[in-house]
Structure 1
Amino acid sequence: MTLTSMLSHPEDVTRAADAGCLGALCHCLSPEQLHATLTDHHLQDDLPLDWTLRHGRSTALMVALKESAPPIIYTDEYKEKINRTLLVYLMADRVPIAMNGVRGCGYLFQYLMQIKQTLPQPLLTPFVRTMNHSSNEMKQLVARVCSYLARVEPDLAPEFLRAAIPMLVNGTKEKNSYVKANSELSLVAVLRLRQGDTVQQSCMNLLEIGARESLSDVITKVLRKVAIQPEGKEEELDDTLLLDRRIVFSFLFIMIIIIFPYT
């Protein structure tokens, strides 16, 4: 109850820490508690709501999909609602909410690839289209999510590769240097160019002729050079973990005081 009451906290860091805790707790809840938390908070989105509450809820859902909760929450009872909620977040006008939609899709795609399930097309298409977003932060994040999936999944789903590769090729042509660099690094990771040409050739076979030619051109002109450079530091997608330790400790201390009042 304390965590849910703070999902709309006006301080960004406090709200993110609170929502991250609520999302991570999902796999510990009883079926009744989980149902109430999902239906009343994680999967409850109303556009007229204050944007901070929508952001808190989107953060909590994103972390729940990241942690050990996907087998518990992405079930026949909730999966359609989760897909719809993520889609709404992807299309949100507030960039922090839309970014949580991108992260949430990334973690959901990871889970579905692990269990060998087809990725939902109603989510995959809007996900790759976020490379056309007006925010460069969003464009960078989409590329980073693709890099993350390439890092954690040995066999990326064909439908993901077919949709993501042309999008990343377009990203390499962006004017913003950060978007361009992230797209190039992501393509190197997705195509596994540092390990040889085997994956590259199989990916080529998935693409239409025009997309294949564009990819081949980028590989020849840019990606070969990028692939021989040292790999950079792995970045964490979950921004609730990138919090000042003093703030986190203060938050936990307050929680202890609330739950175990001094007598």
Structure 2
Amino acid sequence: MAERVEGEGSNNGERNNSSYHLQPLEIDNEDILFCVDIDPQSMVEMKGVTGLNGRPLTRLDAIKQAIVLFVNAKLTINPQHRFAFATLSNSASWLRKEFSSEVESTIAAMQELSVTTSSSQPDLTTLFQLAAHEAEKSGTQGRILRVILFYCRSTGLPQHQWPVNQRLFTLDIMYLHDKPGPDNCPQEVYDTLVDTLEHVTDYEGYIFESGQASARVLFRRVLVLLSHPQQRCIQEYINIPKSLANKAPLVQPMATEDNSRVSTQ
């Protein structure tokens, strides 16, 4: 909250000077729980980036890279943030329960990620139960908990049973999906995810979607999620990352007699 302080007026009728003071706000360290959808649809190939073998990355491969990128960047901002990992099949389950600030722990967790054979309509209730339990533990340590869900299904609407008055953590969602077709309904899935986010999130939660199968789009969106929940604007006001196509061209200085000479020394 900004406080306006009036300055002393002058005798000659000039406008009073005034200044604004922004009250200091303590920003809590974050415990971030990544939950990765391991449905077979996470094996769809992405565009724009290839792996070491020259083959296109799958969604799951790209998600793994995006998470490692996120963790490295987040720890550069503040080395006190911590991370844990879960997977989503029919329901959520722990992959690595202990929150850690070690990049090596993140890399090890990503190496353990693998796709399940098949899954039915996913139930997010278990994920929210895990998050609520961890949020209470984080709160006793003066920290806040955030869940970042990577969701990859274009069929089968996610469901949950969660009280509307229990907003104990912040939820972000990255939704990777196929194009609309007779066998899938990505718009309905997206709308359901939006409703779910608004139902459970504490601070402003962000949701991004991509049906372009582009790994670069995923990486850009994930970097926006670096923003701390306590410092966020609402999502509709986000204008980053800016398109280079809209960037004004640099204006070259005009040549003059002084700056057009070439030194011979």
With the length of structure 2 as denominator, give the TM-score of the two structures: 0.29
Q: Which has the higher contact order (CA 8 A, sep 6+)?
A: 2
Bigger proportion of residues as helix: 1
Bigger proportion of residues as strand: 2
Larger radius of gyration: 2
